Copies of this chain bind each other. A is one copy, B any other.
Amino acid sequence: MLVVMEAKATKEEVTTVISYLQSLNLKAEELPGANRVAIGVTGNKKHISHQEVQRMPGVKELIQVTHKYKRVSREFYPDNTIVKVKNALFGGNAPVLIAGPCSVESEDQIMRTAEMLKSLGVEVLRGGIFKPRTSPYDFQGLGYKGLELLKKASVASDLPICVELMNPEDISLFEHEVDIIQIGARNMQNFDLLKKLGKIQTPVLLKRGASSTVEEFLLAAEYILDGGNSNVILCERGIRTFETSTRNTLDLNSVALIRKMSHLPIIVDPCHAAGRHDLVTPLAMAAMAVGAQGLIIETHPEPFKALSDANQQLDFEQFSEFVSQYKRIQEVLKPVVSLK
C-alpha cells in the first residue's frame, strides 16, 4: 500500500501517519518526491481499515498495490481448476456446452429439448424455474413444478442439469437435486447466498453482474472459495453500457483477462449479451476464439411462443447449425489458443 501525502503536508503529519502505521506492526517508509511525500507500507495489513488512514490529516490518497482476492488468483493456484459435472470437465482440454430453454414451460417442451441436445452431444441441460423479471407483470417461472420436469428430462436423457437459484431457502433442495447451481447476474453480489454456497460442494455457475467489474466478479467467487467450495465456473454474459442497440455489451476482454488472472474455468453466455437470436452464433464463435472454456446457449422448440426471452433463443434448426459451426471452430482452436 502506498500513502500519498498532500503537497502541503507538514513533516509532523507525515510522522504521525508513519507512527500510526508502525503501531500496527507495519513497515512504513518515507519516499520523498519532487512535490510531495509518499509512504510505502508493507506487512500484514489485515487489521487496518484502509479508510482509517485516508482520513488522517495531510493524507491525499491511498493506493492499493495488491488486489483483494487471493484464492481465485493464479498466483495462489497456478494450474487450471477443473470442475467435474458428471462426465463434463469445465476447465479441461475441451470446451463444454450447456443448453436449454430460458424457462421450463411444459413437459413436452423440456423433454423434446433434452432429447435434441443429447443427440447433438451437448453436455449439460439448463432451464429456468424461478425467473427474475424486471416487471412484476411478466411470467415468473413454473417454480418447483419446473424442477420436477427438469429432473424427468435429466433422467430420460442422462444429462446433468443447471438451474438458477434465487432464494437462499432453496439451497438445501438444490444442493442435492441440481448438478450445477446457477447464480444469476442480479445475484452476483447477494453475499448471503454466496456465503451459503461456500458451505456446500455442488458446482456453482456464477454469472458476472451486468455492471460488475472483473475485480468485483472475482471477489464474488472469492466468497464461495473462501467458504470452502472451489467448484466455481465463471460466466461472462455482457455488461451494461451506453450502447442500446444490443441488450448488453459482451465483454470478451474480460474472458482473455480472467484466463490470465484466475485458475477458475470461464464460459460465455452470448444469448443474454446479444438479446437477439441472429447474433448468437457469431458471438459464440468469438467467445470460443478468445479462449472461453464453454458456452451456455438458449434454445427452445418454438421460441416464437416462449414465455420469456423469446427473441434470443435459437430454434432447433438454428441450434443444430450453431453446433456444426462450434465443432468446426473447435478443431482449429485447439492449437490456436494457447492462453494459460
Could you tell me which A residues sit within 8 Å of B by CB distance? Answer: 2, 4, 7-8, 29, 31-36, 38, 40, 42-44, 46, 49, 51-52, 54-56, 61, 63, 65-66, 68-69, 75, 130, 132-137, 139, 166-169, 186-187, 189-192, 195, 210-211, 213-216, 219, 222-223, 226-227, 238-246, 249-257, 259-260, 273-274, 277-279, 282-283, 285-291, 303-311, 325, 328-329, 331-333, 335-337, 339
Interface pair B167/A252, CB less than 8 Å apart:
no
Check A43/B34 contact, CB under 8 A, given A186-B190, A289-B285: yes
Check A240/B211 contact, CB under 8 A, given A75-B7, A222-B136: yes
Interface pair A329/B240, CB less than 8 Å apart:
no
Interface pair A243/B252, CB less than 8 Å apart:
no
Q: How far is the CA of A169 from the CA of B245 in the complex (A)?
A: 35
Given contacts A33-B42, A68-B134, A285-B289, 17 further A-B contacts (CB under 8 A): A33-B66, A34-B42, A34-B44, A49-B139, A51-B310, A51-B311, A136-B219, A167-B168, A211-B240, A213-B242, A250-B251, A257-B279, A259-B282, A282-B290, A285-B336, A328-B335, A329-B336
Q: Min CB distance, A272 to chain B, in Å?
A: 11
A336: chain B residues within 8 A (beta carbon) = 285, 325, 328-329
Interface pair A285/B251, CB less than 8 Å apart:
no
Q: Min CB distance, A251 to chain B, in Å?
A: 5
Q: Min CB distance, A171 to chain B, in Å?
A: 12
Q: How far is the CA of A328 from the CA of B332 in the complex (A)?
A: 7
Interface pair B167/A192, CB less than 8 Å apart:
yes
Interface pair B166/A245, CB less than 8 Å apart:
no
A285: chain B residues within 8 A (beta carbon) = 289-290, 336-337
- Which among A2, A132, A242 has the highest number of chain B CB atoms within 10 Å? A242
A192: chain B residues within 8 A (beta carbon) = 130, 166-167
Check A252/B286 contact, CB under 8 A, given A257-B245, A311-B54: yes
| 9 A–B contacts, CB within 8 A, in A order | A31-B42, A34-B44, A36-B65, A49-B306, A51-B311, A52-B310, A130-B192, A190-B190, A245-B254
Check A245/B214 contact, CB under 8 A, given A34-B43, A190-B190: yes
Q: Min CB distance, A109 to chain B, in Å?
A: 14
Q: A-B pairs with the 4 shortest C-beta distances?
A: A51-B310, A211-B211, A289-B289, A286-B290
Interface pair B253/A283, CB less than 8 Å apart:
yes
A308: chain B residues within 8 A (beta carbon) = 49
A215: chain B residues within 8 A (beta carbon) = 245
Interface pair B69/A135, CB less than 8 Å apart:
yes
Partner among B68, B222, B242 whose Cβ is within 8 Å of the Cβ of A242: B242
A210: chain B residues within 8 A (beta carbon) = 211
A2: chain B residues within 8 A (beta carbon) = 2, 38, 40, 63, 65
Partner among B135, B303, B309 whose Cβ is within 8 Å of the Cβ of A222: B135
Q: How far is the CA of A54 from the CA of B252 in the complex (A)?
A: 23
A195: chain B residues within 8 A (beta carbon) = 136
Q: Which residue of B lies closest to A4 (CB)?
A: B65
Q: Which residue of B lies closest to A325 (CB)?
A: B336
Q: How far is the CA of A216 from the CA of B210 in the complex (A)?
A: 14
- Which among A43, A56, A219 has the highest number of chain B CB atoms within 10 Å? A219
